[in-house]
A = this chain, B = another copy of it.
């Protein structure tokens, strides 16, 4: 599936993406995939020693979920920018919900651009994990 510039409207909401529950092993895998072996993501003993309740997900993994929200939606469109601000920690066992909303359509140098805002929140408590904005280049029919 792909979206077309003509079919997108300001105010449109992207199809929600639910990711989770996040598992400890997923963080082990992401450590290897990303090369970020900071033990606060995998070693409870170390996480607790720095004052956390336990291990926490890599922020970049949470951002990658937001990226998947966009690529699932944009299909053949290409993500040009994702900019996020991290707001809260995510722990194994949590499920997060990624949401996005179109705020602007524009044509720049002949390219058809859709921009908007996105959030990732905890599914259970609604706590904000990150928010940010994006722009995606999409085809015109």
Contacts and interface: CB of A to CB of B under 8 A. Distances in A.
Contacts of A37: 25, 28-29
A43 B31 contact: no
A46 interface: yes
Contact of A44 (B25, B29, B44): B44
Contacts of A43: 24-25, 28
Contacts of A32: 28-29, 31-33
A9 B135 CA distance: 70
Contacts of A44: 44-45
A39 interface: yes
Interface residue SS majority, chain A: helix
A90 interface: no
Contacts of A46: 24
Nearest to A42: B28
A43 B28 CA distance: 9
Contacts of A24: 39, 42-43, 45-46
A99 B102 CA distance: 65
Q: When A and B form their complex, which 7 residue pairs have the shortest distance between CB atoms, in order from nearest?
A: A32-B32, A24-B43, A28-B42, A25-B39, A28-B31, A28-B28, A25-B37
